[in-house]
Structure 1
Amino acid sequence: MHHFPVKLPLRIDWSEMDLFGHVNNVAYFKYIQASRVNYWELTGVAASFATTRIGPILLSTGCQFIKPLHYPGNIVVEVRMEFMKTTSFGLHHRVLSEAGEVAAEAHDVIVTYDFNKMEKTTFQPEFRSAVERIEGRTF
């Protein structure tokens, strides 16, 4: 069983419902994006981007829908670092229902990108250190 160190509670909005009375698949990607950005903020990479113009860029994402969600309700999106290479890393997200059941799982692949040079770049050492602190393990 994997440990998910970062948890983001969110409220399901009525506007996220679809014709069939459950949360639309597009909303899950909003939840995953919120989780991803929250993780970046915790590492400090979002703040350093303003001065360095080096930051994460999403390469790919995918989601497996397991159980429907409904309004009204609350969810928790958990995230963990799945892997870390030289220029890319992977995040694993779980969307949990109010009852604590896994409603969806998602996987992101993200590249560290230098927006000054318009090319991928290696991780900043402080990013790797922040991730290892958050995760409680080394990469």
Structure 2
Amino acid sequence: MSRDEPRFPVSVEIPVAWGEMDALNHVNNVVYFRYFETVRIEYLRRIGMLDVLSTAGVGPVLAETSARYRRPVTFPDTLRAEARVIELDEHGFTMEYRILSQAQQTVTTEGSARVVMVDFGTGRRAPLGEALKRRVLQLEGENNAG
């Protein structure tokens, strides 16, 4: 990783499944959102967000998500999905994703998501909380999350 390349502190390996391909013989566009979800959940697990959800009735909800497809992916391949937080605020954060192909040795897809905290009892926005903010900043290390 070059010094100028962004750091993604959470990554997961995902094998491409045959059934994820569409009629055009490449991974269907919708599948990438599952890949983003997989790495997002790992990120949330690492900062203890899933524990907050089970004990406080407050949790993360996607407010917005997007993908930019740079190169098609086909079976067989193994992908590395990576995530980082690029912005934190009182009620949530913005995540950035990238998908790298082992077969192609390059980034194939980039994405982002706005995640907001919701109180599931009231259905209203809830604060992210200082403890979770600290955990994100700790996981991000030298990144500019904040």
Normalised-by-shorter TM-score class: over 0.9
Q: Secondary structure at the match of 2:42?
A: helix
Aligned to 1:49: 53
Match of 2:124 among 119, 124, 134: 119
* TM superposition shift of 1:73: 1.1
Aligned to 1:81: 85
**Over 6 Å off, 4+ runs:** none
* TM superposition shift of 1:126: 1.6
* TM superposition shift of 1:117: 2.1
Match of 1:106 among 98, 108, 111: 111
Unaligned runs of 5+ in 1: none
Aligned to 1:7: 11
Unaligned runs of 5+ in 2: none
Root-mean-square deviation over aligned CA pairs: 1.2
Given residue 28 of structure 2, which amino acid in structure 1 is its aligned partner? N
Aligned to 1:35: 39
Q: Secondary structure at the match of 2:22?
A: coil
The question of whether the paired residues in 1 share the 8 Å contact of 2:12 and 2:82 is answered with: yes
Q: Secondary structure at the match of 2:90?
A: coil
* TM superposition shift of 1:58: 0.3
Number of residue pairs matched by the alignment: 139
The TM-score with structure 2 as length reference comes to: 0.91
